[in-house]
Amino acid sequence: MPTRIGAAVVATGLALAPGFAMAADTRPTLTGNWQGTYVCGQGVTGLTLTITKQSGATFSGTFHFFPVVENPNAKEGCFAVSGHFVTARRVFVGGSTWISRPENYVTVDLDGQVSPDGRGISGKVKLPEHLGALCTTFELALEAGPPATPAACVTGKSANLVP
């Protein structure tokens, strides 16, 4: 029986909230919580991307993924992310260190475009070539308020984790 690989993705976006700041080169400040979904081999999965640090064209944070009503069998997990601006509105985000890893999940990369109104980001989920086309797209929207890292990303305590 083939093994089904779930994939966790990372994403980021543009903040146009109170305190919004633009760099001299027009790169947006990305700090904040971004809520949305992505689609990979395990189906539609919820995600919260928390960007906690930005310095010029680079940024970092955590990516927390979890089950949603449309897919209650998706796993929960979390990993650190880092990314950079490709252009003023295009971002590349890559997963790095696992904090809470479900069995058979891999980190993936995102190639995303910030929406014209700056309140969302969407794009393509990128898997290593040898895994094929298990993933398609992601979509995120900015939540109000300061960045707040989900508990599973702080404690590493999540259901269905690899021992």
pLDDT score of 155: 65
Q: How would residue 22 be classed by pLDDT, with cut points 50, 70 and 90?
A: very low
pLDDT average, residue stretch 39-54: 91
pLDDT score of 25: 55
pLDDT average, residue stretch 135-139: 93
Q: How would residue 28 be classed by pLDDT, with cut points 50, 70 and 90?
A: confident
CB 29 within 8 A of CB 21: yes
Question: Alpha-carbon distance 6 to 8, whole Å?
Answer: 7
17, with CB counted inside 10 A (0-12, 13-18, 19+), is middle
Cβ of 124: how many Cβ atoms within 10 Å? 14
Q: How would residue 20 be classed by pLDDT, with cut points 50, 70 and 90?
A: very low
pLDDT score of 6: 52
Q: Where are the domains of the chain?
A: 6-155
pLDDT score of 161: 47
Is the domain defined by 6-155 classed in CATH 2.40.128.120?
Answer: yes
pLDDT score of 18: 38
Phi-psi region of 101 (alpha: psi -120 to 50; beta: other; left: phi over 0): beta
Question: Alpha-carbon distance 143 to 15, whole Å?
Answer: 9
pLDDT over 90, % of the chain: 34
